Amino acid sequence: MAFEGLSSRLQNVFGKLKGKGKVTEDDVNEAMREVRLALLEADVNFKVVKEFVSKVKEKAVGQELAKSFTPGMAVIDIVNKELTELMGGTQSKLAKANKPPTVIMMAGLQGAGKTTTSGKLAKLLQKQNHKPLLVAADIYRPAAIKQLQVLGEQIKVPVFALGDKANPVDIAKQALEHAKEEHLDYVIIDTAGRLHIDEALMDELRQVHAAVNPDEVLLVVDSMTGQDAVNVAESFHQQLSLTGVVLTKLDGDTRGGAALSVKAVTGCPIKFAAMGEKIDSLEPFHPERMASRILGMGDMLSLIEKAQSSIDSEKAAELERKMRRAEFTFEDFLEQMEQVRKMGPLDQILDMLPGMGKVKGMKDLKVDEKQMGRVEAIIRSMTREEKQRPEILNASRRKRIAAGSGTSIQDVNKLIKQFEDMRKMMKQFSSMMGGAKKKGKMP
């Protein structure tokens, strides 16, 4: 995961401060020296690091610390606020045109994830009940047009293309007309990218810009490229007046330097972060949430939002009823697993829980996706009746299920035992809840 190294180093530094009843200026200086090294190692721009550390120091040795009962925590709080500020302070939302369609021009170097991100953004807008149009204006990269068309088909968003012989300026202009005619409210233009910044590319982008006057010019940068990403952003910004940055590949083991420097260096806010290859892995960027994630304080808000958008509330209510009546079956178990899966890769979900950064650092506690797969295979090998009435699972049935799922009888036994324990617990829990309710202790 992104920021893993930085996160664990910072948590170490602050772990030492946390319990202290009194924090001296020397303690702060020592902690800040370590913070400085941790940030530099995470590939944060050195000027940004210098300024950051001096701001935190100034606040920490000033009044704020003296007034606090828990000075160690107060230092962490200052760092949290400054990290948030560094990444832009508050969430920077997508602009909206007074009169639709809102035009979004996507720019970036080849391979940064521009085409994929265009598709993801369309999907995100579609989820918010908008009607986006994707525009294939990258006529140079072989297969870029086709790639966008495939993405569009997958998410059922129209794609405007005129082939690779047309001029990108004409494509963009005609696409805009098309969107107006079809009453589409967002136009996302996937422009050409090169391996390096060159004059011809910038010229073309400026022409497209002048022709459609976009409400947003978003630069897509690969966060894995660290400081390079920041340099690219600076050059593009000088030439194109960017309105925002999209950081991609934050699911990789990027050290985080790009995310922490790009706003401070270019002045452009980070508007979105992409955390995977899947079409729904684009999220609005929240500086405050990212800061608390880095500091191991968790990101409960994002977790709750993820759950709300991917878990079907009717199904959840039905499940709750079943749990109360202890009617929970293997079928429900499987369904619940699928719902959790929809929220994304498990280790990304765990990363949002407070304190999980540290736990995950312990190798033996890594999330075992394979184990989840085995559980799923076992349940899928059961007949309908077996799923609903696990008590009929005798030895020969267990043997058949193990063979069918490619697991061992021990695996099957273990799962059934866990399931029975869980059912028992639910029963106890629901009678406790019922009892409390009768006594008027529960809402």
Instruction: Please state the closest distance from residue 112 (CB atom) to ligand GDP, in A.
Output: 4
In the shown chain, the binding pattern of residues 174 to 193 toward ligand GDP, with x for contact by CB under 6 A and - for none, equals -------------------x
- Confirm or reject binding of residue 274 to ligand GDP (CB under 6 A): yes
Instruction: Please state the closest distance from residue 356 (CB atom) to ligand GDP, in A.
Output: 21
Determine whether the annotation assigns residue 190 to a binding site.
yes
Instruction: Please state the closest distance from residue 5 (CB atom) to ligand GDP, in A.
Output: 18
- Confirm or reject binding of residue 110 to ligand GDP (CB under 6 A): yes
- Confirm or reject binding of residue 149 to ligand GDP (CB under 6 A): no
Choose between 249 and 263: whose C-beta lies nearer to ligand GDP. 249
Contact, 280 vs 257, CB < 8 A?
A: no
Q: Can you give the C-alpha Rg of the chain in angstroms?
A: 26
Determine whether the annotation assigns residue 193 to a binding site.
yes
Near ligand GDP in 395-414, by CB under 6 A: none
Burial class from Cβ neighbours inside 10 Å (0-12, 13-18, 19+) for residue 99 reads exposed
| Residue number with the smallest Cβ distance to ligand GDP | 113
- Confirm or reject binding of residue 249 to ligand GDP (CB under 6 A): yes
Residue from 25, 41, 170, 277 that binds ligand GDP (CB under 6 A)?
277
Determine whether the annotation assigns residue 108 to a binding site.
yes
| Chain CA centroid to CA 232, Å | 23
The stretch near ligand GDP (CB under 6 A) out of 68-76, 80-88, 108-116, 406-414 is 108-116
- Confirm or reject binding of residue 108 to ligand GDP (CB under 6 A): yes
Residue from 48, 53, 112, 378 that binds ligand GDP (CB under 6 A)?
112
Determine whether the annotation assigns residue 194 to a binding site.
yes
Instruction: Please state the closest distance from residue 342 (CB atom) to ligand GDP, in A.
Output: 18
Instruction: Please state the closest distance from residue 194 (CB atom) to ligand GDP, in A.
Output: 10
Residue from 45, 92, 191, 248 that binds ligand GDP (CB under 6 A)?
248
Partners of residue 107 on adjacent β-strands: 219
Residue from 15, 62, 89, 111 that binds ligand GDP (CB under 6 A)?
111
Residue from 7, 115, 191, 407 that binds ligand GDP (CB under 6 A)?
115
Instruction: Please state the closest distance from residue 248 (CB atom) to ligand GDP, in A.
Output: 4
Determine whether the annotation assigns residue 298 to a binding site.
no
Determine whether the annotation assigns residue 111 to a binding site.
yes
Binding site listing for GTP: 108-115, 190-194, 248-251
Binding site listing: 108-115, 190-194, 248-251
List residues near ligand GDP by CB under 6 A: 108, 110-116, 193, 248-249, 251-252, 274-277
